[in-house]
Amino acid sequence: MNVTIIVPSLDPDDKLIQVVEGLLSEGFRDIVLVNDGSHADHLWPFEKAAEHPEVTVLTHEVNKGKGRAMKTAFAWCMEHRPDIDGVVTVDGDNQHRPHDVRACAEAMTAQPDKVWLGVRDFSLEHVPLRSRLGNTITRSIMKLACGVSVTDTQTGLRAIAAEHLGLMCAIEGERYEYETQMLLSLRSAGVGIGEVVIDTVYIDENQSSHFNALRDSWKIYKIIFRHMFRQARSFLTFSASSIACFLLDNGLFTLFNSVLLRSLADGGRELGATAGARVISSIVNFLLNRHLVFRSKRDIRQSAARYFALAAVLCALSALLVTLLNRVFHVSRVMETAIKIPVDCLLFLASYRIQKKWVFHEE
């Protein structure tokens, strides 16, 4: 494996030396430590680690946060290690075992399309209560509200293929909230998340952690709630666009049927009014969704082709499902509308997801 290990650290002690020596004994030959503005009394571990030729130390003159330290290392690797398979981030408190680091690195090299997380088992008795509760709450909220399902939301052991480092540098967040933002951004970017079960190690109940329960928890949940708000706003805007075009479609049908096409025979007038209204309203809906709902920069011809192909498929599915349900339940004509409403509601939700992920999604 051609992998760089990244270890962000603030005010370390001898545990950082143990981390470096463990990684070297496991066979890793490129280790990048990030001194995130450590106090003068805590510089000696970096100096001792730098005696190994396999170790590079990057330095922030002032504390900028774990997220910024990781991004500093990612950018450095993109410039100075262009040929690596990827990186593995490791915490400097010696709670990640070298064999687990290797397991994550091997998973990443085997499947570089995913970002691999080393996940802990929070059901074990020795896990501190605050860690167990914090992970359970955050994991549940992220799954229910954001659709991101991970076992360990705050694990610092992450294996990231080189092709994703540019994305990692662009993700918002400077401190501990960066790790949560990473998970949300991976889902939005269509990058998979894999998990490797690792040893669950807590030294002195994690007392050496610089995580501030109030300040950093607030930043993490602020990101989650902001993501929820963006998702809700997007869906509400999509719904408003659909309702507006539904009203436009019916208004145009009335106009065409009553005024513009009244000289035609009954059958031709209704067909022409329906087709004319549907063409105009669908074009308006496409433009609203492209520019206001999803704000897509994908090639307009490609988006239009996908949009109208999707519209045709959904229309056919609606007719097919309603027909099948009518035959299964033998409903009357009056009840056909009652069946069509839930069918179209489900297709409406599917349309939102498909338009977001396929029609207007930027590669």
Residue 106's CATH number: 3.90.550.10
More confident residue, 194 or 206: 194
Are 292 and 158 members of one domain? no
Tell me whether residue 218 is in a domain.
Answer: no
Mean per-residue pLDDT, 254-280: 70
Task: Return the SS3 of 1.
Answer: coil
**178 and 276 both lie in a single domain:** no
pLDDT of residue 153: 79
> Mean pLDDT in the chain?
82
Q: Are residues 196 and 236 in the same domain?
A: no
pLDDT of residue 194: 92
Strands 3-9 and 86-89: parallel
**Domain-located, residue 176:** yes
Which of 150, 180, 211 is the endpoint of a domain? Answer: 211
pLDDT score for 143: 64
User: CA 285 from chain center: how many Å?
Assistant: 27
How many CA within 13 A on the CB side of residue 142? 25
Q: Which of 182, 211, 240 is the last residue of a domain?
A: 211
Average the pLDDT over 77-85 and give the result: 95
End position of a domain, from candidates 164, 181, 211: 211
Least confident of 70-74, 237-241, 249-253: 249-253
- Whether residues 299 and 180 fall in one domain: no
Q: Are residues 240 and 127 in the same domain?
A: no
Q: How far apart are CA 173 and CA 188, in angstroms?
A: 16
Same domain, residue pair 184 and 244: no
Domain that holds residue 38: 3-211
The reply to whether 222 falls in a domain is: no
18-32, 198-212, 280-294: which range is least confident on average?
A: 198-212
What is the total count of domains within the chain? 2
84-88, 89-93, 232-236, range with greatest mean pLDDT = 84-88
- Does 49 lie in the same domain as 183? yes
At 238 the pLDDT is 87
Answer yes or no: is 288 within a domain: yes
Q: Please, what is the angle between helix 215-255 and helix 177-188, to 10°?
A: 30
Task: Verify that 233 and 123 share a domain, yes or no.
Answer: no
Model confidence at 247: pLDDT above 80: yes
Q: Are strands 55-60 and 86-89 parallel, antiparallel or unpaired?
A: unpaired
Q: Are residues 198 and 321 in the same domain?
A: no
Q: Is residue 224 part of a domain?
A: no
Same structural domain, 187 and 246: no
Whether residues 197 and 339 share a domain: the answer is no
pLDDT band for position 87 (cuts 50, 70, 90): very high
pLDDT-based confidence at 45, cuts 50/70/90?
A: very high
The pLDDT tens digits of the residues spanning 286-327 come to 999 998 888 888 889 999 999 999 988 988 888 788 778 777
Please check whether residue 221 lies inside any domain of the structure: no
Of 181, 200, 42, nearest to 126 (Cα)?
200
- pLDDT on residue 208: 47
Residue 49 reports pLDDT greater than 90 = yes
Count the alpha carbons within 13 Å of 197 in the hemisphere toward its beta carbon. Answer: 3
Q: Do the domain assignments include residue 326?
A: yes
pTM over 0.75: no
Answer yes or no: do 197 and 296 share one domain.
no
Among 16-20, 63-67, 327-331, the range scoring the smallest mean pLDDT is 327-331
141 in a domain, yes or no?
A: yes
Count of other CB atoms within 10 angstroms of residue 237: 16
